[in-house]
Amino acid sequence: MTGPTTIEEKKWGKLGKMMKQEGYAWVHPVVLLPGFVSTSLEVWEAHPECQSYTPVGARIWGAMNLAQMLQHLRISPKCWIKHMQLDPTTGLDTEHIRVRSLEGLYGAATKGQAYWVWNPIVENLIAVGYDTSNMYVATSDWRLSFSNLEYRDGMMTKMKNAIELFVKRYQQKVVVISHSMGSQLFVFFLKWVESPAGGDGGPDWVAKHIHANVNIAGAMLGLPKAAASMASGEFLDTSLLGRISDIVDMTPFSRLQRVNTYKTWGSLFNLLPKGGNALWGDSDAPAPDDYSYTDACGGFMLGSTTPLTTDKTHSGEGLPSRVMPNVTVDEMITEFLPTQFPSMQHHLSNLSFGYSVTPTDNNDAVFKWANPLEVALPNAPEMTMYSIYGEGSYTERSYAYQARDYDESSEDLKYHINFTKSSGRWTAGVCLTTRGDGTVPLTSLGYMSATQWRKPSHNPHGVKIVTVELPHKPHTLYLRGGDYSCGHVDIMGNRDVNRKLLNIVSGGVEQEAFTSSIREIGDVIYDRLQKSVANRAVPNESEKLRKKAQADERDHARAEHIELKTNDIREDL
């Protein structure tokens, strides 16, 4: 890794060295599981039109020196975004382009201009004895859906093999440290590794191999920002990128170009909010974590402040010719996005966003594995699931849109966030809640660990659950908030978090700590989810799109069959 460039970076590793002097030393092998945008991407095959701009080996995302990435973005934005896009139908490589994640420690050790994610944790782990012999970094192409990570790259097989090798070599179970979307991916891995259709490890694999999962700022139930990015190409900015949003200039790309890129990333669909209106609210009842502000965000996820009645864009996708309604989470997933962008329907139909009262019935339902509300934890009563996250920061909840002046010669969306809407908790068209880590709302961060995983339905074998909430205490003199910042990305450098991590991997245990009302909020959410199932609201909504996609496929196949038969008859005549 390159040397430190800021005061904060100069502190990396000091905590680990101090704890080593106190007697801490590694006990459990470690697997690091990065989240969204946290792994460097490099070109393995460049498009013929772009070989001089993005040659083989070019780091188009991340890299130890971000200047490498920015150079490609600035010289040829068209080539850069062409290589960042995937096939909109398969979610895999486009023709003549291959981009892959950089493997190993350096794949996750992106650093530059005060941007970092895993660096503080890695340096503290190194200080207590970790290196490549007992630490595996499960880097991945974060653009891909979870299923495609295995299908194209064998990512989960590699992770399974690494864990098995560690256990065999050291006779110690592994600690998996996951961040953000990586924590969702770990839930998927737990189902995949047991299933005959996946890793075929059997029902006791997790119990034999995993000591603990330390989930840091896990977006377990998605986040509203993913919806805004899908709907209108809003920047993913600080929501998931942290300070990299100050470095990466996306202004050369129109909103439609950004949407057309985002909708090819299967991973981003996993970040759409899960649980339906019962968890995220509607016009009849606000979100359960928003009770003191019953009308502040209006009970919708996406809404309009002016009539939006323009036609579709030249691409055939955009805003339908009708007034944009205020849409809830359920309506957004099952109606708004697939109607506005038909090409999204395929990806949406391969996922599930609902809730199950009998999650053990879904052990073979691959499309549900990424949704912790619909799957049960494994038969591993000695395993501990730690959920560590920050709370108390303003966090985006919903978005207000308005029509924009439209030039017929321009291929762009005809609406955008109403940046003039600023009153109460609305700031520049975005409704903010004080509960969250600045990116992920409190319910997504904490509901599973505080409530749902404590129910026999979702934790039938008694996996130990430990929730650790940390109040956000940023220091204004530091670019990344200092030792006690708990922002979504900055928490990776939080001193308390790193101390807890080093204690756990050294064989210690951590106790629960609550600073918010997540348990009371969780009780309300649980009751709502149970009632929604009784009313068949959430299951119908989450299955609606899947059934429509299946019907469309049957109709398409039937039409092809009729056409073939017609051609045969014509040939006979």
Residues that are catalytic: 180, 437, 488
> Are the CB atoms for 301 and 332 separated by under 8 Å?
yes
Q: What are phi and psi of 540, to 5 degrees?
A: -65, -40
Residue 494 DSSP one-character state: -
DSSP 488: T
Cα–Cα dist 360/52, whole Å: 52
What's the rounded Cα separation, in Å, for the pair 534 and 355?
11
How many CB atoms within 10 Å of residue 211? 21
Exposure of 277 in the CB half-sphere (CA atoms within 13 A): 25
Token output for 565: 């038969």
SS3 label, residue 459: coil
Q: Where are the alpha helices (DSSP H) in 76-180?
A: 77-84, 105-108, 119-127, 146-153, 155-170
Name residue 545's amino acid. L
User: Angle, to 10 degrees, between the axis of helix 14-21 and the axis of helix 119-127?
Assistant: 20
Q: How many CB atoms within 10 Å of residue 406?
A: 14
d(CA 485, CA 493): 8
Give φ, ψ of 396 to 5 degrees: -65, 135
Distance between CA 234 and CA 401 in Å, rounded? 11
